Chain A
Amino acid sequence: NAGVTQTPKFQVLKTGQSMTLQCAQDMNHEYMSWYRQDPGMGLRLIHYSVGAGITDQGEVPNGYNVSRSTTEDFPLRLLSAAPSQTSVYFCASNPRWASGEKTTDTQYFGPGTRLTVL
């Protein structure tokens, strides 16, 4: 298994541009999520999905859009990039989410995308 993969690894945008950060997992995990990591702020949840066709907002969703058409893919769209969105973005997946007593709740993280918005 490749695990959780993210593309691109690095990206530089100008203010106002849009782009999509790609995330894919080949482990058939139900739950996927996007986090951003900023110095002094820790990791913060942007959006998450508990299965194909189901998404919801996390702590910092403004300026971002997601969709989940397949189990494998969970892209994150920046609608109109702003300098405040300069960050490292991580995608994560989880095999089962609170289904039964013996849930496997371990999060698997991708390698990250380092985004700079000028």
Chain B
Amino acid sequence: KQEVTQIPAALSVPEGENLVLNCSFTDSAIYNLQWFRQDPGKGLTSLLLIQSSQREQTSGRLNASLDKSSGRSTLYIAASQPGDSATYLCAVREAGSYQLTFGKGTKLSVIP
């Protein structure tokens, strides 16, 4: 059974810092991996999607990388801002499956 782990569970950084969030998965036979953002009391917003054949995706200050063979993905946030404060979740879709398996998320706090 696929398991997705996100470390750390919580992270607090001062504004302006660059930071990295980590996601690991146990079964490398994935179709794609997505990073989501969730604000308190809200739904999830997709940030980046990386297909299994891709190494990275970029959107603005966000860069996500994927190393399928080692079962790891990172989300890099450049020049963090207080508005980046949220919970970040990664989810993998396995090859041949419709199901997304989510990690439990990293709660990020960016201190002004």
* Contact surface of A with B, Cβ cutoff 8 Å: 4, 31, 33, 40-45, 48, 50, 56, 58-59, 90, 92, 97-98, 105-112
Contacts and interface: CB of A to CB of B under 8 A. Distances in A.
Contact of B34 (A44, A90, A106): A106
Contacts of A92: 44
A108 B46 contact: yes
Contacts of A4: 43
13 contacts: A40-B104, A42-B104, A43-B89, A45-B100, A48-B99, A56-B98, A58-B99, A59-B99, A92-B44, A107-B46, A109-B36, A110-B43, A112-B42
Contacts of B89: 42-43
Interface of B: 4, 31-32, 34, 36, 41-46, 49, 89, 91, 93, 98-100, 102-105
B6 to A, nearest CB: 9
B98 A50 contact: yes
A59 B2 CA distance: 12
A112 B103 contact: no
A45 B98 CA distance: 10
A92 B99 CA distance: 12
Given A106-B34, A107-B44, A112-B43, A45 B99 contact: yes
Contacts of A48: 98-99
A31 B98 contact: yes
Contacts of A97: 98
B97 to A, nearest CB: 10
Nearest to A41: B104
Given A40-B104, A42-B104, A109 B99 contact: no
A105 B49 contact: yes
Which of B31, B98, B105: most chain A Cβ within 10 A?
A: B98
A111 B43 contact: yes
A111 B46 CA distance: 13
A76 to B, nearest CB: 15
Question: 5 closest Cβ contacts across the A-B interface?
Answer: A109-B43, A109-B44, A43-B102, A42-B104, A42-B102
Which of B49, B89, B100, B104: most chain A Cβ within 10 A?
A: B100
